[in-house]
Amino acid sequence: MLSRSHSEYVEGASLVEMITEDLIAERIAIDSYREMIIYVGTDDPTTRKVLEGILAQEEEHAEDLASLLKELGP
């Protein structure tokens, strides 16, 4: 599975590092879903709608992680 991943798995040494790595992975996923949506365009509205739903969830995850990092501090 690691060979098919869009992002690299990096093990953090602290909670802040782990959350930071998760946030990086979320941002990579967001970029990937945006590219897929552009690729699908208007040719397949059902697939586009599914991808947009997943993208919204990924963006929410990234916002949650960013907020958590702000709360935890450096």
C-alpha dist (Å) from residue 62 to 8, 30, 50, 52? 17, 9, 19, 15
Classify residue 43: in a domain, yes or no.
Answer: yes
Classify residue 7: in a domain, yes or no.
Answer: no
Domains identified in the chain, total number: 1
Q: Is the pTM of this model over 0.95?
A: no
pLDDT digits (tens, 9 = 90+) for 16-34: 999 999 999 999 999 999 9
Classify residue 2: in a domain, yes or no.
Answer: no
Classify residue 29: in a domain, yes or no.
Answer: yes
C-alpha dist (Å) from residue 65 to 2, 35, 39, 61? 22, 22, 28, 6
Classify residue 56: in a domain, yes or no.
Answer: yes
13 pLDDT band, cuts 50/70/90, is confident
Classify residue 23: in a domain, yes or no.
Answer: yes
